Structure 1
Amino acid sequence: MTSNNEAIASRAEVVIPGGLLSPSRRLGAPVAFAKAEGPYLFDADGNRYTDYHCAFGANVLGHRNPAVFNAIAEVNESVDLIGAGVLELEVEVAELLVSAIPCADQIAFCSSGSEATYHALRLARAYTGRKQIIKFQGGYHGWHDYVAMNGQSSRQMMNSFDPMSDGILYDAARHTKILPYNDATAVEEYIKANPGEVAAIIIEPIAHNMGAVIAQHQFLRDLRRITTENGVVLIFDEVITGFRHALGGYQSIVGVTPDLATFGKAATSGYPIGLVAGCREIMERVGRTGEGAVFMGGTFNGTPSSLAAVKATVQELSKPGVYDRLFDLGDYLRKQIDQIIARHGIKAQTAGFGSVWLVYFFDGEFSEYADLLRNDNELDMRFRRALIAGRHIFQPLQLKRLYLSLSHDQSVLNDTLELIDTAMADLARSAAA
C-alpha cells in the first residue's frame, strides 16, 4: 500500500522540477511534511521528526512560535500589502533594528537574503564607482551571478572560476575575485596590485556555509583597516549569524563594524525577509531618484506580516537570558558529541558557534576552506543518513551546518545523543571490519 508520503512525493514529481523546491531538500526516502511544532516536524503519515535543519536556520525560536504567530494574526486584522506610502510598522521595525545593529544608520527591506546581498553589492559599486568584488572560497552569498561560485569546490577548482549553476553569466562573475578565508595578506596584496578596482569585500564573519569556520578577530580587524585605507566597502553577510548569535549580528560580538551588512533567515523566525543595514552615506542612495540613485524595488519589500514577524522575533530574543540559553544548549551538545567521538575512536570533531553545530570528520585545526578538504565525506554522509533514518532532520550534505532553536531543550538533545552514540558506534565497527 502506498503511503501518504509516497503519494504526495509522486504527485510532486509531475508538477515540481525534481519533485522538490531544490536538490538540497532531498532526504532520501520520500517525506512530505504536514505539521511543525517547536523542535518537531510531522509527516503526512503521522511520524514525528526532531528538527536540526530549522529551515536552513531561520527558525531560531522554534516552529510556529506563539509570539510570532499572534503578531502576524494581529497585523493581518488591520492591514495587508499596500505598496505605497509608509506604514508606522515599517518605521517601528526599522527603529528597532537601527538601535540593535552597530553598522545601521538606516535599514532597507527586501524579501530574502540573496536579494539583500545583491542589493548590497550594487550599492557598493554605485558608491565607489568600481566593479570588482572580493569573496572567499567556501562562502555562499546567494543565488545571483556575482557570487554564486566557489562554494564547496574540489581542490582542483579552488583557484579558478567554479560556478554553482549552469547559466551563470561569466561576464558578471569575472568581476569577482576569490581569495582564501582568514588570509588578510592575500586581500591586501590583491587590492594593492589592483588600485582603484575593488568596490567591496563581502564576507561571512563566521563562515557557516562551510560549517563553522570562524573568522579570526585580527583578520576582521585587518579587513576593516584595509578597506578603510583603500576606499573599499566592507560588507558583512550576516544572513546566518544575524539574530541567531546576537540581535546586532556577529559584528556586535567581535567589535568590528562593517559599512554594510545583510540579514535574513532568523530575523523573522520563519517568514520571508531580507535586510540591508548600513551607514547613512551609502544607504541614502536607495532613497534617491536621479543621478547617483540605486534602485531597490520589490512589490513585497516590507510586507506587513513579515515586519510583524521581525518585531515579535526581536522582542522574544531581547528577553533576559535568551542568548545564554542558545549558547548553553550548543555548548552542551558539542561537548557530549565530542565525548562520544572520543569513546568510539572516530577521527572527527565538533564545530560550531552558539546554536550552530556540526561534526567534521577529520582532526586538527582549520581556518579556511582548504583545511576542510581533509573531511571524510563518506563518513560524514553515512552519519547524516543514519540520523535522518532515525527521524532527525539534518541538512543532507557534507560540511553543512545544523541548528538548535529555543524550543529545543536538554531532554530533546539527550534523545538525539543516544542516536548519535549508536551511529558513531556503527561507524567505528565498520572502520574496524
Structure 2
Amino acid sequence: MLLDANQSLHERARQVLPGGHLSPSRKLGQPYAFVRAEGPYLYDANGDRHTDFHCGFGAHVLGHGNQAIRQKVAHVSERLDLIGAGITDLEVETAQALVECIPCAEQVAFCNSGSEATYHALRLARAVTGAKRIIKFQGGYHGWHDYVAMNGQTSRERMDSFDPMSDGILLDAAQYTIILPYNDAEAVERYLKSNPGEVAAIIVEPIAHNMGSVTASTAFLRALRQLTVEHGVILIFDEVITGFRHALGGYQSIVGVTPDLATFGKAASSGYPVGLVAGRRDLLERVGQSGDRGVFMGGTFNGTPSTLAAVLATIEELSREGVYERLFAMGDYLRGQLDGIIQRLGIPAQSAGYGSVWLMYFFEGPYSQYRDLLRNDDALDLAFRKRLIEQRMIFQPLPLKRLYLSTSHTTKILDESLDVIENALKALIR
C-alpha cells in the first residue's frame, strides 16, 4: 500500500497542533497538506495540484509567489532586518506611498494583522471621544478580540441576542458593543439620539464580505458619515478585505465616502503579515504621544522590513494599467456564467460578489442585511462546497463564505472550474 503523504502529515499534526490545525476555519474536510504554492495553484504532499479560490483569505490578489514581490523582499533583506529602534527609510517610504493611495490617510500606523488594526482603531476612538460604546453590524467580522468577536454568522435562533464567537470572551468588554442591522441608517440614528455622547465609534465593512458579499448602499454610508459628524462619533471603515483587493484606496475610493479611520491588512502586502490604521492626522498623532494623552500602539514586529517591502511591491504591481479592470472583468464573467448554470438547472440560487470576490447564495430574491441571508439553504451550500473541494478546488467549506480570484487566474481556469461546478450541482439535485 502506497504511503499517503497528506494523511501522514495530518496524523503528525494531530499530535502537536490543537485540533490538528492552526484554526478551525482552515479545516477543509479532506486531508490535504500543502507543500508548494504558485500562481493560482496549490500543490499537496502527494503531488496533486489544486485550484486555489481561497487565496490566503483573500491576501493574494496577485496570486501565489509573485516574482515582483519576492524580488523586492529579497532585495530589502540584503540590507535590513528587524531594527526596532529609531526609524528606517523603508517605513517612511511605505507610509508615504499609502498616504498617496488611501483617501482618508493623512498618517498611517503599522501593526501585524487586521485584528490588531481594528483593536487599535477602536482604542484610539475611545481615547479621542471619551466614550465607551461602539456600534458594529450583525454579520460583520472585525477580528478576534473581545470588543468585536460576536454576532458574526449568527443562527436564526440567536438573532437579536448576544452571540459570542468564542468561549472566554470578557463580557465586561463585550457589553459596550452594540449590534445593529446592516444597511439600516434609521436604526443607527435612533440609537445615537437615544444615547447621546456614549458612542465612541461605528465600525463597518463597506462591503460585508464576511457574510459573502453584501454591499452597503451609498445612501447608508453617506448617512453614517453625516450621523457620526453630527454626534461626534469616529467612523471606521474596516477595509481589511476590500482594501487593495477592489482598489488601492479601498472601497472608500470607489464609493466616495471618506471615514475618519480605516483598517487594512491581508492584500496590502500580498500575504506578508501586516495591519494598517490609516486616517486623520489629528487622530493618529495621539498614537505618537506618550504620557496621559498617549494611545499606546506597540509591537516588536510592527513595520518589519520584509513586510514593508511587500507592501511597496504590491502597490507598484496593482498600479499597473488594467490590473483592476481585468480582475473586475473576470469576476463579472464568472458570475454571469454561474447565473447561466443556475438558470439551466433551475436551482433556487444566485451568483453574488463584487469585483474579484464571488460566491453563490442558495436562495432567491433581494438581500441587504444578514437577516435576509437566513433564507440560504445551508445544507445544499455546504454539500456543494465539500464536493468541489473533493475535486481539488480550494476555499472554505462553510456556507455563505466568499471565494476569490487573483491576477494569476485565467479564463481557461474559470471555464474548467465552471464545468466542475455545473457537474457538482447536477449531482446534488438529482
Q: TM-score range by the shorter chain?
A: over 0.9
User: Residues 376-428 of structure 1, C-alpha deviation per residue, up to 9 Å, x if partnerless?
Assistant: 00100111011101000011110000000000010110110110110111122
Q: How do 1:292-311 and structure 2 match up within 5 A?
A: 292-311=293-312
Which stretch has the larger CA shift, 42-51 or 2-11?
2-11
Amino acid at match of 2:264: F
Amino acid at match of 2:387: A
The CA distance in 2 between the partners of 1:401 and 1:222, in whole Å, is 27
1:371 equivalent in structure 2: 372
User: Residues 158-209 of structure 1, C-alpha deviation per residue, up to 9 Å, x if partnerless?
Assistant: 2111000000000000000000000000000001000000000000000000
The CA distance in 2 between the partners of 1:170 and 1:72, in whole Å, is 42
Q: Is 1:143 matched with 2:144?
A: yes
The CA distance in 1 between the partners of 2:122 and 2:347, in whole Å, is 42
2:329 equivalent in structure 1: 328
2:28 equivalent in structure 1: 27
Contact 1:93-1:307 at 8 Å conserved across structures = yes
The CA distance in 1 between the partners of 2:197 and 2:366, in whole Å, is 36
1:114 equivalent in structure 2: 115
Q: Is 1:400 matched with 2:405?
A: no
SS in 1 for 2:263: strand
Q: CA shift at 1:291, angstroms? A: 2.1
Amino acid at match of 1:169: L
The CA distance in 1 between the partners of 2:155 and 2:388, in whole Å, is 26
1:253 equivalent in structure 2: 254
SS in 1 for 2:278: strand
The CA distance in 2 between the partners of 1:135 and 1:158, in whole Å, is 14
1:196 equivalent in structure 2: 197
The CA distance in 2 between the partners of 1:420 and 1:94, in whole Å, is 42
The CA distance in 2 between the partners of 1:205 and 1:301, in whole Å, is 26
2:242 equivalent in structure 1: 241
Q: How do 1:162-311 and structure 2 match up within 5 A?
A: 162-311=163-312
The CA distance in 1 between the partners of 2:6 and 2:101, in whole Å, is 43
SS in 2 for 1:287: coil
Q: Tell me, which stretches of 5 or more residues in structure 1 are unaligned?
A: none
The CA distance in 2 between the partners of 1:47 and 1:152, in whole Å, is 33
Q: CA shift at 1:156, angstroms? A: 2.4
User: Residues 75-129 of structure 1, C-alpha deviation per residue, up to 9 Å, x if partnerless?
Assistant: 1100100100111111111001001100000000000000000000000000000
Amino acid at match of 1:324: E
Runs of 4+ in 1 over 2 A off after TM superposition: none
User: Residues 277-330 of structure 1, C-alpha deviation per residue, up to 9 Å, x if partnerless?
Assistant: 000110000000112110000000000000000000000000000000000010
SS in 2 for 1:285: coil
The CA distance in 1 between the partners of 2:138 and 2:112, in whole Å, is 26
The CA distance in 2 between the partners of 1:370 and 1:424, in whole Å, is 26
TM-score, normalised via structure 2 length: 0.99
Contact 1:101-1:248 at 8 Å conserved across structures = yes
Amino acid at match of 1:46: G
Alignment: residue pair count: 429
In angstroms, what is the RMSD of aligned CA positions?
Answer: 0.6
The CA distance in 1 between the partners of 2:24 and 2:262, in whole Å, is 28
SS in 2 for 1:10: helix
Amino acid at match of 2:139: G
Amino acid at match of 1:197: E
The CA distance in 1 between the partners of 2:420 and 2:30, in whole Å, is 19
Q: CA shift at 1:46, angstroms? A: 0.1
The CA distance in 2 between the partners of 1:106 and 1:29, in whole Å, is 44
Amino acid at match of 1:101: I
SS in 2 for 1:256: coil
Q: How do 1:31-110 and structure 2 match up within 5 A?
A: 31-110=32-111
Amino acid at match of 1:112: S
Q: CA shift at 1:373, angstroms? A: 0.2
Q: Quote the sequence identity (%).
A: 69
Q: Is 1:351 matched with 2:349?
A: no
Amino acid at match of 2:226: R
Which stretch has the larger CA shift, 287-296 or 364-373?
287-296
Which stretch has the larger CA shift, 220-229 or 153-162?
153-162
Amino acid at match of 1:176: T
The CA distance in 2 between the partners of 1:192 and 1:29, in whole Å, is 51
SS in 2 for 1:123: helix
The CA distance in 1 between the partners of 2:283 and 2:19, in whole Å, is 41
The CA distance in 1 between the partners of 2:295 and 2:160, in whole Å, is 32
TM-score, normalised via structure 1 length: 0.99
User: Residues 52-88 of structure 1, C-alpha deviation per residue, up to 9 Å, x if partnerless?
Assistant: 0001000110000000011110011001001001111
Amino acid at match of 2:43: F
The CA distance in 2 between the partners of 1:203 and 1:22, in whole Å, is 25
Amino acid at match of 1:264: G
Amino acid at match of 1:171: D
Amino acid at match of 2:88: L
Amino acid at match of 1:359: M
The CA distance in 2 between the partners of 1:35 and 1:106, in whole Å, is 37
The CA distance in 1 between the partners of 2:290 and 2:159, in whole Å, is 41
The CA distance in 2 between the partners of 1:67 and 1:127, in whole Å, is 40
2:7 equivalent in structure 1: 6
